[in-house]
Amino acid sequence: MVKKSPENTTPAIVDNVEALEAKLAQMREAQALFATYTQEQVDKIFYEAAMAANKARIPLAKMAIEETGRGVLEDKVIKNHYAAEYIYNAYKNTKTCGVLERDEAYGITKIAEPIGIVGAVIPTTNPTSTAIFKTLISLKTRNAIIISPHPAAAKCTIAAAKLVLDAAVKAGAPEGIIGWVDVPSIELTNMVMRDVDIILATGGPGMVKAAYSSGTPCYGVGQGNVQVLVDEGFTDYDQITSNILASRTNDAGTNCTGEQTLYVPQRQKADLIAAFEAKGCVCVCDPADIDKLRKGIFPDGGPINRLVPGKQPKDALAEVGVTIPDCPLVLVDLESYGAQEPLAREILFPILRVNSYTDFEEALAEAKANLLLEGAGHSSSIYSNDDARILHAGMVLPVCRLSVKMPNVAVTGLPFSNGMPPTITIGCGTWGGNSGSDNLNYTHLLNKTRIIRTLEHYTEKDIDKIFLD
């Protein structure tokens, strides 16, 4: 008997509560049908959807740039490619249906089950790649997914989701397995978060907090504020500068994984700044200009100035009254830190604070203070050849990832560079107010049923001994 997709009786546009209710009801039916699919069927859908997204990586990137005015076209193309083809290749051979494993020694059989409807909140900084990633891992796990886009990026986010949906349906997925809010609002976003089965929240701290307060299980993401420590005597300045430039300038600094503060030994500070300047970077040293940055980037000590994220350094600084030439990265010569320093917070354009230290423990303490101000749980980076010192930093800093001598953007599982699960979304643990500390991937969208059998060597006498002794 041929399986039929649920009839599409929902309104053409989801822009009010009633339309969203109808959409979610239709998606419930679609997901119930999808839950009956075999691994072979799911993998075909996963493949076709991923390839369709990858083929559209350039036009989707152009749409994101045009709509948001943020980021770098080439980098957004790469992000879309990563979220589509690389994510597919990373997870194409994983089991997500039926029996996952049988542990004969312990008598446990694990069965994979979908969760239901995933609610996905998508940020304006990475609107298309995040949508591609979340829809693909939902398809891989036989879940439905409804997207609540950022109002400033709704057009391109929906375009990405629709493209994945069309390819999935053509490959055999039920109609309506992917949905979205056409006209986003706080009311509809809150309704999505309340009525789905699990939330994948990517965005600012306010939105993530709302997701966790919704009463629905949630994987949220904390803020980034990456601290970089250069160990005493580490003088490979070409490696340091090349890695940081590759990471911090990616997509005009919109990545939460980008380096934010650089701690360098006092006697090496001038040399390291000179190494950056040799590669075209500009250092802001004038106290008056630094004060303009404080007041302009975080007006009245509040949220970041919406005019600067995703802009190139010259343009971002022009918005706050500081004139610099064109450059890939602007350095700020700074000595203050933590709650006393507004610039110690996460800044989403290519800017790097440079602080010096005389003792490594001092650097750790200041970096920790910056993280506790903003960015706890996320990630940090270290340049050292001393394994003991690296381990010590990992034990002191409240982060879930400490990258060693690499561009910190690689903590997302950058292809071929390390063994981290590839993702677009990373958890920050309880430090960041998150429920998990992992790189979010398909495993987080599965329920597992465990069939448990009595061990062969275990007897009723053993049970009596446990409870009666």
Q: Which of 97, 218, 256, 281 is catalytic?
A: 256
Alpha-carbon distance values, 156 to 4, 66, 129, 152, 296 (Å): 30, 9, 10, 9, 29
Alpha-carbon gap, residue 248 to 410, rounded angstroms: 11
The type of residue at 27 is: M
Q: Is 283 a catalytic residue?
A: no
The string of DSSP letters for 100-148 reads EEEETTTTEEEEEEE-SEEEEE--SSSHHHHHHHHHHHHHHTT-EEEEE
Alpha-carbon gap, residue 43 to 172, rounded angstroms: 11
Burial 78-87 (b: 16+ CB within 10 A, else e): bbbbbbbbbb
CB-based contact 404:384 (threshold 8 Å)? yes
Alpha-carbon gap, residue 382 to 138, rounded angstroms: 34
Alpha-carbon gap, residue 148 to 181, rounded angstroms: 5
Alpha-carbon gap, residue 462 to 107, rounded angstroms: 17
Alpha-carbon gap, residue 65 to 439, rounded angstroms: 26
**Catalytic residue annotation:** 256
